[in-house]
Structure formats: C-alpha cells, structure tokens
C-alpha cells in the first residue's frame, strides 16, 4: 500500500509539473517575433545575433529610421554585405513600418 501511495503521489506531481509547463509554454510564445515575409530568416539570423530578435520585432519605423538603426548596429560591430543590408532594410521597412 505504501508503494501504491508513492506511485499515486508521483503521478500527481507529474501532473502538476505538466500543467505548469503547459501554462508557461504559450506565454513564451507570446513574445513578439518577426512577421512572415521574404528574407525573414536573414533578418532573424543577422539582427538576432547580438540581442533578442524581440528587440527588433517590437518596433515599427520608417525606412529612413531603419536605415539609421542599421547604421547604429554597424557602429556596434555588425558586419553584413551591402546586398544583405539592402534585403534587411527592405524587409524592415515593409513588414515593420512606422506605427
Ligand atoms: C554587433 C551586434 C549587433 C547586431 C548584429 C545588431 N545589433 Fe541591434 N543592438 C546592439 C547593441 C549593442 C544595442 C544597444 C544595447 C542594448 O540596448 O542592448 C542594440 C540595440 C538595438 C535596438 C534598440 C535601440 C534602438 O535603436 O531603438 C534596436 C531596435 C536594434 N538593436 C535593432 C537591430 C537590427 C534591426 C539589427 C539587424 C539589422 C540589429 N539590431 C543587429 C547590437 C547589435
């Protein structure tokens, strides 16, 4: 009977852990991510390499302001080819426009 009680306790513990995890996971998924669009993966890889991509995704900026942001990131040490830079700017200006 002791053993059975222990098994029941363990099952109850597991159920609590599972319920807690289930509650946490969707919360995590609510963090802003980049909208679907061409070159999304490129932007995620480049702009998510130094800080969370949320830092980018929460913003809405005009093309000019995104250009300045990219200049600022270059000042922090970001290295991208001119081609990738143009693709990134195009994505940001299109999918994260000024609010
Ligand atoms: C070389 C590292 C690096 C890369 C790559 C990088 N950033 Fe940053 N970024 C930083 C640093 C450092 C800060 C400022 C420090 C902080 O607040 O964490 C910052 C801050 C920011 C901020 C908040 C400040 C602001 O201007 O409002 C935004 C937005 C941002 N980055 C966007 C981008 C975008 C878009 C890209 C891709 C084009 C990018 N970052 C790539 C290093 C980087």
pLDDT tens readout for residues 64-89:
999 999 999 999 999 999 999 999 99
The reply to whether 71 and 26 lie within a common domain is no
CB of 50 within 6 A of ligand 1: the answer is yes
pLDDT digits (tens, 9 = 90+) for 36-59: 999 999 999 999 999 999 999 999
The reply to whether 24 and 47 lie within a common domain is no
The reply to whether 19 and 48 lie within a common domain is no
Which structural domain, as residue segments, surrounds residue 73?
A: 40-95
CB of 73 within 6 A of ligand 1: the answer is yes
Q: How far is the CA of 16 from the centre of ligand 1 (A)?
A: 39
Q: What does the alpha-carbon distance between residue 20 and residue 28 come to, in Å, rounded to a whole number?
A: 13
pLDDT tier for residue 11 given thresholds of 50, 70 and 90: confident
Q: What does the alpha-carbon distance between residue 83 and residue 33 come to, in Å, rounded to a whole number?
A: 23
Number of structural domains (the chain) is 2
The reply to whether 49 and 25 lie within a common domain is no
CB of 58 within 6 A of ligand 1: the answer is no
The reply to whether 86 and 54 lie within a common domain is yes
The reply to whether 13 and 44 lie within a common domain is no
Structural element, H or E, at residue 88: helix 82-95
- Taking residues 2-25, report their average pLDDT: 68
Q: Whose CA is nearest to atom 18 of ligand 1?
A: 51
Over its C-alpha atoms, the chain yields an Rg (Å, rounded) of: 22
């Amino acid at each position: 009977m002791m053993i059975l009680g222990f098994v029941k306790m363990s099952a109850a513990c597991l159920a609590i852990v599972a319920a807690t995890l289930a509650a946490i996971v969707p919360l995590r998924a609510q963090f802003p991510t980049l909208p679907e669009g061409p070159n999304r993966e490129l932007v995620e890889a480049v702009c998510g390499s130094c800080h969370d991509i949320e830092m980018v995704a929460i913003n809405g900026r005009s093309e000019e302001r995104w250009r300045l942001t990219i200049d600022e990131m270059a000042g922090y040490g970001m290295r991208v080819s001119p081609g990738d830079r143009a693709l990134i700017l195009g994505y940001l200006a299109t999918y994260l426009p000024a609010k």
